[in-house]
Amino acid sequence: MLNTVEAYLGLRRAAGFEMKNAECLLKSFAGFATERGEMHVHTQTAIDWAALGPSVAQRDARLKAVCRFARFIRVEDGRHNAPPANHFGARKKRRPPYIYSTDEINRLIEAALCLRPKSALRSQTYATLIALLAVTGLRISEALRLQIADITTDGLLIRETKFQKTRLAPLHDTAAAGLERYLRRRCPRSSDDHVFVCDHGQPLPYHTVKDTFDQLLRKANVGPAPGGRRLRLHDLRHTFAVRALQASPVGRTRSGKHMVALATYMGHVNIYATYWYLEATADLMRDVAAVGEAFMCGGMHP
């Protein structure tokens, strides 16, 4: 079975998936099945192996990894079973996003501009970074990996993202102008190719950015989120997505195209990741409920 696992991993990697965790899990499962003298996927064996996970979530993840593998190899060999993916009944819980208001984002940028020392690049770096995250919805990892050559007249070239894909993120004229102003101050101070650098000219490390952002939240008096949850840089990406959906054009066909465009712009590998924002925000859910109710009660097309 191990050779089949290797073939499956190779195919998925060719499609752009890293498969690091899947490789570990599937090789473990193959060894477990081989010890039982089995050369094909058997439902009970898959469940027994998955049950070795220490938590319901991990057991569910282990079984789903085998299920994806089984669906692939059953195409050529029907002797493999397809285990029930929901055997453990786990449900993935996504953390509710915090949606920053325009005023909160402006206060964060103003706080960044007050960072010391005033003569250094630091204040401009963080103000530009926060503004860019807010208006583009980039992942923080994507922003920190940006290089000067990635800034084109058509937008930002986002290379080898979370799912090993490259995409182009167009910029509004005001965002492009703000980035250009930052680069004019930044370029004489550093020969590094990264866009965002520290005062020593080296690329900004994530842990430094996170710590500084936490300080800016306190200085700008932003947060905490409901329930005392800590605010995150990633919530700027959530904010962008929700605002984009709120600006969605009226009409089922047009809004559907808008959703596909947003998924492509944000680099989602699956459009369901984009649809999640509909249910993650109360006012968007109210809109969905109102349209659904009108359709069910009056037979109107959404």
Report whether 10 contacts 72 (CB < 8 A).
no
Residues 6+ apart with CB under 8 A from 209: 126, 129, 140, 144, 233
117/223 same-domain check: yes
CATH number at residue 119: 1.10.443.10
Choose the final residue of a domain: 233, 250, 265. Answer: 233
- Residue at 78 is within a domain: no
Number of domains within the chain? 3
**Sheet containing strand 151-152, strands side by side:** 151-152, 155-158, 167-169
Kindly state the greatest CA–CA separation across the chain: 70
CA-derived radius of gyration, the chain: 23
Instruction: Look up residue 168 and give its two tokens.
Output: 């182009």
Q: Whole-angstrom Cα distance, residue 178 to residue 36?
A: 62
- Residue at 92 is within a domain: no
Examine the pLDDT at 273 and tell me if it is beyond 90. Answer: no
159/272 same-domain check: no
Strand pairing class (167-169; 151-152): unpaired
Q: Whole-angstrom Cα distance, residue 162 to residue 269?
A: 9
239/226 same-domain check: no
pLDDT at 117: 87
227/249 same-domain check: no
What share of the chain in percent tops pLDDT 70?
Answer: 86
Instruction: Look up residue 85 and give its two tokens.
Output: 């993916």
- Residue at 208 is within a domain: yes
Which positions are catalytic?
139, 162, 234, 237, 268, 277
Choose the final residue of a domain: 187, 215, 233. Answer: 233
Report whether 149 contacts 165 (CB < 8 A).
no
Choose the final residue of a domain: 233, 248, 267. Answer: 233
pLDDT at 234: 92
Q: Exposed, middle or buried by CB within 10 Å (0-12, 13-18, 19+), for 160?
A: exposed
Residues 6+ apart with CB under 8 A from 92: 57
- Residue at 184 is within a domain: yes
DSSP assignment string, 104-133: HHHHHHHHHHTPSPTTSSHHHHHHHHHHHH
In this structure, of 42-46, 80-84, 116-120, 251-255, the range with the lowest mean pLDDT score is 251-255
Report whether 196 contacts 204 (CB < 8 A).
yes
Range of the domain at 18: 2-73
DSSP assignment string, 171-240: --HHHHHHHHHHHHHHGGG---SBSSB-TTSSBPPHHHHHHHHHHHHHHTT--PPGGGPPP-THHHHHHH
Examine the pLDDT at 299 and tell me if it is beyond 60. Answer: no
Tens digits of residue pLDDT in 236-257: 998 998 888 777 766 555 566 7
Examine the pLDDT at 22 and tell me if it is beyond 90. Answer: yes
- Residue at 96 is within a domain: no
Report whether 138 contacts 132 (CB < 8 A).
yes
